Structure 1
Amino acid sequence: MSNSALQKSEDSWYDIVRRSDGCVVFSFPSSGRHLIYRVNGMVSPVTCRRYYGLR
């Protein structure tokens, strides 16, 4: 696998980062649809595939 293929793969993810210490608490691909719930400062990502039972 070439370096360019690896670079494209690494760029296609989003991270949810905890502000207090910069720790990545969750990562998800940029492709597809995602639901992000936020309640009292807590974030819960849910992919539509998992939420709707899609494969």
Structure 2
Amino acid sequence: MSPLKTSGDRVNADPEDDLDPWPDPMVTAITALTAILVGALLVILYLASSLNLW
């Protein structure tokens, strides 16, 4: 049985294999929150303009 290889032992290693397939949870949370806030702002502006609030 061969010993475990470290990343330095790989010859033709693809650098993308070392990337985490999922983004950081904090980045995901901030992105989702920003999208929700922008969407809410657009809905509010649409309703305000359609109801002639200004």
Between Structure 1 and Structure 2, the one with more helix by share is 2
Structure number, greater radius of gyration: 2
Taking structure 2 as the reference length, the TM-score comes to 0.29
**Structure that is richer in strand per residue:** 1
Q: TM-score by structure 1 length?
A: 0.28
Q: Bigger relative contact order, structure 1 or 2, given CA contacts below 8 A and separation 6+?
A: 1
